[in-house]
Amino acid sequence: MKISAKEIIETGKAVLGVEFGSTRIKAVLIDQSNKPIAKGYFEWENRLEDGFWTYHINDVWAGLQSAYRSLCDDVKIKYGTEIKKLAAMGFSAMMHGYLAFDSEDNLLVPFRTWRNTTTENAAKTLTSKFSFNIPQRWSIAHLYQAILNGEKHVKDISFITTLAGYIHWQLTGQKALGIGDASGMFPVDSEHNSYNTNMINIFDDLICDYSYSWKLKDILPQIKLAGEFSGKLTTDGARMIDPTENLESGIPLCPPEGDATTGLTATNCVAPNTGCVSSGTSIFSMVVLENSSLSNNHEFDMVTTPTGNPVAMVHCNNCTSDLNAWVRLFSEISSILGGETDMNIVFEKLYQKATDGNSDCGGLLSYNFLSGEPIFNIDNGMPMFVRMPDSNFNLANFMRAQLYSSMAALKINMDKLFDKENVKIKHLVGHGGLFKTKGVAQRFMASALNTPISVIETADEGGAWGISLLASYMLNKEKYLSLESFLSTEVFNMTQISTIHPCKSDIDGFQKYLEVYKKCFGAEISVIESWQDMKRGDL
């Protein structure tokens, strides 16, 4: 007899996953068949302070408590009960960035997120020394740049980690990290599922003249694989989630993971020759490889699945932030005119309107760089919209241009992966906010990348569902040979999936848009440089 969701919650058999995304903290509760039965949310935003994109640490915990309280409210409304016990839980967050602590567990500098483009010198040097691409947002680039800058806190470092690793540590006392998230801190060896020993030695030699008391391997978190037990929720940890003291301690936790890794899990893309596209504040593709021998690895981020399989990642800092700002503006206009203001409806109507536009956006052009874009060696953001005197300037083309802009940078580097590296993939699975309105961004993305784009029915659940699945896998690992087997057998066996194939007219239209995008790129650079000169007082 099927057990009801209420019974599952009351008997402590539900599993909780929480993800700290760029704009939203999301909590998802799943049942024993791995289906979501309740959700909770908390909206938050990064801040640009003293030249760094950051989130205040107090906001991390206030946000977690609010998201969990929202989940509990959902449970109360739907099932008339409360959460007291859980079978397992897991935490995911934005990858990369820099959280550094001293021996007394004090945070040494404010959290530096993945969005920062302040580590160019460090990233270039490490890439050269390692013969391996080190992007600006990686933790090791932040650490080395702090060393190059002569920052005083570096000598006091006892531990560095990511946001997910920090949250997990505070809740369990375990300084651990899932291998996918760890691979965005420092290069890992997929054959041995460990940090790359040779590169660790190169780094220690590189900084030996600074005479720090620490060695790199001693300040990095321990690597854990999917399915491994990674500590239990302490009494203090339970209160940090639920100050009402309803939630019991002792709950087992899976390894904390990054949002890219949980995105792979949530789209059933953990096996070789599968891949996904995640879209939100940033946009990135993840393609699981059969081996890690890309000839042009300096152009791609090499990370891993939660089980250690090599992944080629194409990451762009900017996706929906500028697009969202325009939608909010249109919502404000609608409000003044006494019209629709529900943001979900406004998004849906405007996205759908974009399908009425010309395939090349009618000569309209948009650059969506709210922050720097390392993929183009741009350190600072400056969104810009351009139209010609004879452009077909209407709402449909405007919205289509905004959507095209959100995927243009990704398209440029994905072409290198497909063409130069001859990587083959049958389709990519899309997830994240860009795909929430059915069939619109999915259609444009398929034609932009000239690759079928699939969206599964749970696409909107995102990484919070992905980390809950990893927590569920930890409980069920003994029954399955691999994470791939667990996902295929237990999770996605009955999942509905929709696939949109590239359309020739859209392919031609996007290519025409992209040609103008590339030719006019100098204008974007000029505006950014002029703005920086003005801020410095040079104009």
The helix or strand, by DSSP H or E, that contains position 18, with its residue range, turns out to be strand 15-20
pLDDT at 319: 93
What are the strands, taking DSSP E only, across 259-409? 275-279, 283-288, 301-304, 310-316, 364-367, 384-387
pLDDT at 379: 82
The helix or strand, by DSSP H or E, that contains position 500, with its residue range, turns out to be strand 497-500
pLDDT at 421: 81
β-pair type (497-500, 275-279)? unpaired
- In 3D space, the residue among 499, 440, 454, 466 whose CA is nearest the CA of residue 277 turns out to be 454
Q: Which two tokens stand for residue 394?
A: 């209407």
Residue type for position 383: P
- pTM for this entry: 0.86
pLDDT at 535: 75
DSSP string, 43-75: E---EEETTEEE--HHHHHHHHHHHHHHHHHHH
Over the range 62-74, which residues count as b (16 or more CB within 10 Å of their CB) and which as e? ebbbbbbbbbbeb
Question: Please, is 505 exposed, middle or buried when counting C-beta atoms within 10 Å of its C-beta (0-12, 13-18, 19+)?
Answer: exposed
Q: Where are the alpha helices (DSSP H) in 361-427?
A: 395-419
CA distances from 167 to 18, 90, 264, 530 (A): 11, 10, 21, 40
pLDDT at 248: 97
Q: Which two tokens stand for residue 405?
A: 């802009």
What length does the chain have? 539
The helix or strand, by DSSP H or E, that contains position 39, with its residue range, turns out to be strand 36-43
Question: What DSSP state is assigned to residue 111?
Answer: -
pLDDT at 462: 78
Q: Which residues pair with 42 in a beta bridge?
A: 25
DSSP string, 253-288: BPPPEEHHHHHHHHTT--STT-EEEEESSSEEEEEE
How far apart are the C-alpha atoms of 119 and 148, rounded to whole Å?
10
Residue type for position 183: S
pLDDT at 493: 83
Query: What domains are there in the chain, each with its CATH number?
Result: 258-318+413-500 (3.30.420.40), 321-406+505-536 (no CATH)
How far apart are the C-alpha atoms of 387 and 364, rounded to whole Å?
5
Q: Mean pLDDT by 10-residue block, N- to C-terminus, for the chain (539 residues)? A: 89 97 94 95 93 95 98 98 98 96 97 92 96 94 98 98 98 98 95 95 97 97 97 98 97 96 93 90 90 66 93 91 96 95 95 97 96 85 93 98 96 88 86 89 96 81 90 94 92 85 96 96 91 73
pLDDT at 117: 86
